[in-house]
Structure 1
Amino acid sequence: MLLPIHLLTYSYVFGATSFHSFISSVRAFKVLPRKEFGLLQSKLFPIHFLTQSVGPIVVGLTAPYSIPTTGLALLAVSSISGFVNYLWLLPVCSRLKAERFALEDLPEAERSEETAQKIAALTKQFGKYHGISLFFNLISVLTITGYSYVFSTQLLVKALK
């Protein structure tokens, strides 16, 4: 009974992570205005990062075979990367984005050179933390992809018995 759960969970985690990281986010960035893109991502990222965080744990717990150390390490790194994004980087980026949008939404009469400098500083900070988030997302994608080798090898061994 564990094999179908393991297979479906792995497929969901791999597919959702890959699709959101390389297809839907890229496409949305190209077609939506910046604020609308930010709003969309603010609704999708919690789900995306929770999938990256909890999914590998479920995959590990439902394996119908003994997962080799390499496989456990790949799942752990994938999960930790998702948790770093969910618990640390998502809140930081969300706060920076909200502060920047609040300043950008000020009426022209209330804007000053200081406002423009604050917007530039927030944009720079956001870029830094967003870059770190992209790095952890890539690590999660690569490690869950790497687990596919372990998964397929274990299925082949099981099939040959």
Structure 2
Amino acid sequence: MTTLSALTNPASYHLLSYGTLLGSTLFQSFIGGIIAFRVLPRPQFSVLQQHTFPTYFTLQSIIPVVLAFTYPRGRGGPAALYRGGENKLVVSLFATMFITAVANRAWLGPATTRCMRERKHQETRDGKKSYDAGPHSTEMERLNKKFSALHGASSLLNLFTFIAIVWYGFVLGARL
């Protein structure tokens, strides 16, 4: 295959998209986010995450669609992805990646950010940070529980996304 034909081959874009999705998810989830949490003061970490997550979850939402459209189909044409038992796994992995990322982008991410803002306002009313040692006001306790539940659900969905991405990597690797 020549370089020029590789530029027009959807499989090239499939591989680059997969690498981008795996790399960005791995880095944000297990490297960059953890380092930022450890080295930044909590208010700055919060601002960083509020600005990073919408882009991150948008990327995670779009790339599975790109993967579906650029899936290396061989002789089967575009419909080959949706035929056959082997491809049911691929479709389910793409769907898992897409649904979990969209849920984080459209619902859990914004809800978590709103809860963080509510906690910030409550900190002003209480004169105490949400993460300071207790006791806390009843409202702050409620907001802390709500934040923990939202953050935990978002993290769990992100983990499901990551697992689907890695699993697809093994499926893709078996085709090479």
TM-score interval, normalised by the smaller of the two chains: 0.7 to 0.9
Matches within 5 A, 1:53-92: 53-65=61-73, 66-67=80-81, 68-92=87-111
SS at match of 2:137: helix
With over 3 angstroms needed to count, the CA separation of the structure-2 counterparts of 1:59 and 1:42, relative to structure 1, is same
Matches within 5 A, 1:109-128: 116-128=137-149
Q: With a CA cutoff of 8 Å and minimum separation of 6, indicate the structure with the bigger relative contact order.
A: 1
SS at match of 2:57: helix
User: Alignment identity in percent?
Assistant: 34
In the TM superposition, residue 10 of structure 1 has moved relative to its aligned partner by: 0.6
Aligned residue-pair number: 149
Please give the alpha-carbon distance, in whole angstroms, between the structure 2 residues aligned to 1:143 and 1:116: 40
CA contact 1:17–1:51 (8 Å) conserved in 2: no
Q: Does 1:32 align with 2:53?
A: no
What is aligned with 2:21?
13
Please give the alpha-carbon distance, in whole angstroms, between the structure 1 residues aligned to 2:55 and 2:91: 23
What is aligned with 1:159?
none
Please give the alpha-carbon distance, in whole angstroms, between the structure 1 residues aligned to 2:164 and 2:72: 20
In the TM superposition, residue 54 of structure 1 has moved relative to its aligned partner by: 1.2
In the TM superposition, residue 120 of structure 1 has moved relative to its aligned partner by: 2.1
User: Structure 2 regions of 5+ residues with no counterpart?
Assistant: 1-8, 74-79, 82-86, 128-135
In the TM superposition, residue 150 of structure 1 has moved relative to its aligned partner by: 1.5
Please give the alpha-carbon distance, in whole angstroms, between the structure 2 residues aligned to 1:49 and 1:153: 28
In the TM superposition, residue 106 of structure 1 has moved relative to its aligned partner by: 4.3
Please give the alpha-carbon distance, in whole angstroms, between the structure 2 residues aligned to 1:131 and 1:106: 26
Let me know the Cα RMSD of the aligned residues.
1.5
TM-score (norm 1): 0.87
CA contact 1:93–1:126 (8 Å) conserved in 2: yes
CA contact 2:126–2:137 (8 Å) conserved in 1: no
